[in-house]
Amino acid sequence: MTDSTPATAPTTAPASPKDPWALPDVSGLVVGVLGGTGDQGRGLAYRLAAAGQQVIIGSRAADRAVAVAAEIGHGVEGADNAECARRSDVVIVAVPWDGHAKTLESLRAELAGKLVVDCVNPLGFDKKGAYALKPEEGSAAEQAAALLPDSRVAAAFHHLSAVLLKDTSIAEIDTDVMVLGEERADVEIVQALAGRVPGMRGVFAGRLRNAHQVESLVANLISVNRRYKAHAGVRITDI
């Protein structure tokens, strides 16, 4: 020990672990859905808006978004993808994998500073069924993060069935939502959004480098659905 070394370590209060289920109030956030005229976007927009969230769906054509928004109701608005991104706090990406990179590249400015939530599953289909593609960046979510350096990127909502989401006769969506991201605060916002939908629970499931297997699992769920004529989802046990 040198003269300058204290004999005892300074006393600091032990950090209390944060309750993982203590999530922020997200009721005031505007949620945009790029590609919100499609099945998944429509379904998510309906569920979030029915839960009281302000939702704007985006499209490559504003008039298409306005027409679909009117069909969904619950105060959902429609706009072109750029306006949807500009006016939203949280932007869900629900376009097909084919159009993913091009869509995000074209909206880089509008998405700057926003929390972008990718739900895109890069899949291929052949006579054996669905299979996971291997994006160069590792996953769709990592591609989004690479293309949007000025946005905060998370990934979630991959395992939901659009058929169930859109079905207005179903009151609760019985599923967990695996949420991935780099910043705890961002992940918790997405968990809280998922939790606004009755029956749904948002669960932290790791960083974006682990998004590939979450996206890929949809190929397995499609196999399940085909065999059992179901709309399978995912539940995480023991939490």
Ligand X SMILES: NC(=O)c1ccc[n+]([C@@H]2O[C@H](COP(=O)([O-])OP(=O)(O)OC[C@H]3O[C@@H](n4cnc5c(N)ncnc54)[C@H](OP(=O)(O)O)[C@@H]3O)[C@@H](O)[C@H]2O)c1
Residues that bind ligand X (CB under 6 A): 35, 37-41, 59-61, 64, 94-99, 103, 119-121, 158, 160-162
Q: Which is nearer to ligand X, 119 or 197 (CB)?
A: 119
Least separation in angstroms between residue 103's CB and ligand X is 5
Least separation in angstroms between residue 9's CB and ligand X is 50
Rounded Cα gap, residues 31 and 13, in angstroms = 39
Q: Which is nearer to ligand X, 49 or 95 (CB)?
A: 95
Beta pairing partners, 55: 31
- Asked if 94 and 117 count as a contact pair (C-beta separation under 8 A), the reply is no
Rounded Cα gap, residues 99 and 153, in angstroms = 18
Least separation in angstroms between residue 28's CB and ligand X is 26
- Count the Cβ atoms, other than its own, within 10 Å of residue 75: 13
Q: Which is nearer to ligand X, 12 or 181 (CB)?
A: 181
Least separation in angstroms between residue 74's CB and ligand X is 18
Helix, strand or coil, per DSSP, at residue 169: coil
- Count the Cβ atoms, other than its own, within 10 Å of residue 6: 7
Q: Which is nearer to ligand X, 103 or 191 (CB)?
A: 103
Cβ-proximal residues to 228 (8 Å cutoff; 6+ apart), any chain: none
